[in-house]
Amino acid sequence: MEFIELVRIIALLCVILFIGYLLGKYISHKQHKEKIPEIREDAIKQSRAVLGGQFSEQLAPYFSDFPFKPTEARFIGKPIDFVVFKGMDEKKIHEVVFVEVKSGTSQVSPIQKSLKSAIENRNVSWREYKVPDGVLKKK
């Protein structure tokens, strides 16, 4: 009789554990489902912030407080927003300026920090690339 009672107790414990597992899974699913609207709203806000930032980046040269002439600024986007060729309007470039536009609480990325460091350490050079003969000729 002891063996049968032991089997019953083990079976009862297994049933209780299984019910607990199902109940926990149900509660977890319900909690996740309740968070979906909040997560979606947050994703939409972040997306709008990114789009607003990208929009303001491209408009920056036309803002009244932009310190350079819009006609001398060229948008690149990544890894830096603009390269400004000071003096280009007068057909004599005397300075090249790299400009990163930031809005809100956005910060410089690691790649932008490394670009800034390369520029500050004067690791900037001029290269000319000649297209090989025949590449542009029609066959």
Summarised one tens digit per residue, pLDDT across range 1-27 is 687 888 888 999 999 999 999 999 999
In the chain, where the domains are located:
1-102
Alpha-carbon span 135 to 73, nearest angstrom? 31
Contact between 71 and 89 under an 8 Å Cβ cutoff? The reply is: yes
Summarised one tens digit per residue, pLDDT across range 75-93 is 998 899 999 999 999 999 9
Q: Is the pLDDT of residue 51 over 80?
A: no
Contact between 129 and 112 under an 8 Å Cβ cutoff? The reply is: no
Tell me what pLDDT residue 43 has.
86
Edge to edge, the sheet with strand 73-75 lists: 73-75, 82-86, 95-99
pLDDT band with cut points at 50, 70 and 90 for residue 53: confident
